[in-house]
Amino acid sequence: MQQVIFLGPPGSGKGTQAARIAEILQIPHISTGDILRANVSRETPLGQQAKTYMDRGDLVPDQLVLDMVEERLKEPDAQKGWILDGFPRTVSQAEFVEEKLLDSDGSSSGGELQAINLDVPDDVLVERLLARGRQDDNEETIRRRLQVYREQTAPLIEFYSDRGQLHDVDGDRSMDEVTACLKKAIAPE
């Protein structure tokens, strides 16, 4: 069972690479943004709760996101494995994922959890994000977002590194080169 978590700053190509690897491994690419939108559009009880926060412009609370991720991981297509993109974002969320992967007797539910950190220099990220052309993106706001990301994610990188589950991958290469490197890291022949 493949259980993969993709970490990477905005503009690192995390979503694109997660989707490519999910297709290669034939497992679902699970994005928390997609889960939120799906629950809201299907008007599930969790989606209705999330919508009240979103309508006010507030962040959806951790526990609600955790509940949605847990539900998603129980779906039939995720039983052979999954790739999480954009989650966990904090050590407490990572501990939650770890807890959910352990069976009641403390053994793993099969498969080894791997965390991939797509590493791209800030200058390259700024260039990529400016090229996206979003109106609210200027160099100052992008650099601030990257700083916040690094502050929030540094403990997460350490969390997975300490457990021997972290693969650092150079994301400052062509899309195909990054995909080939990821394939080697996640599913060595």
SS3 6: strand
- Annotated catalytic residue, options 42, 74, 100, 132: 132
User: Residue 149's pLDDT is what?
Assistant: 87
- Annotated catalytic residue, options 89, 143, 173, 183: 89
Domains annotated on the chain, with CATH: 2-28+81-186 (3.40.50.300), 30-74 (no CATH)
**Span 166-186, pLDDT tens digits:** 999 999 999 999 999 999 998
- Mean of per-residue pLDDT scores for the chain: 89
Verify whether residue 132 is a known catalytic residue. yes
**Span 117-162, pLDDT tens digits:** 999 999 999 999 999 877 777 899 899 989 988 888 889 999 999 9
User: Residue 105's pLDDT is what?
Assistant: 40
Mean pLDDT along residues 18-44? 93
DSSP 111: S
Verify whether residue 100 is a known catalytic residue. no
Verify whether residue 183 is a known catalytic residue. no
Q: Which residues contact 1 (CB under 8 A, 6 or more apart)?
A: 79, 80, 81, 109, 110, 111
User: Residue 189's pLDDT is what?
Assistant: 63
- Annotated catalytic residue, options 134, 144, 150, 163: 134
User: Residue 151's pLDDT is what?
Assistant: 87
**Span 61-112, pLDDT tens digits:** 888 988 999 899 899 999 999 999 988 988 988 998 888 776 544 445 556 8
User: Residue 107's pLDDT is what?
Assistant: 45
Q: Which residue intervals of 62-138 are DSSP H helices? A: 62-73, 91-101, 122-132
DSSP 76: G
* CA pair distance 126, 137, nearest whole angstrom: 9
User: Residue 89's pLDDT is what?
Assistant: 83
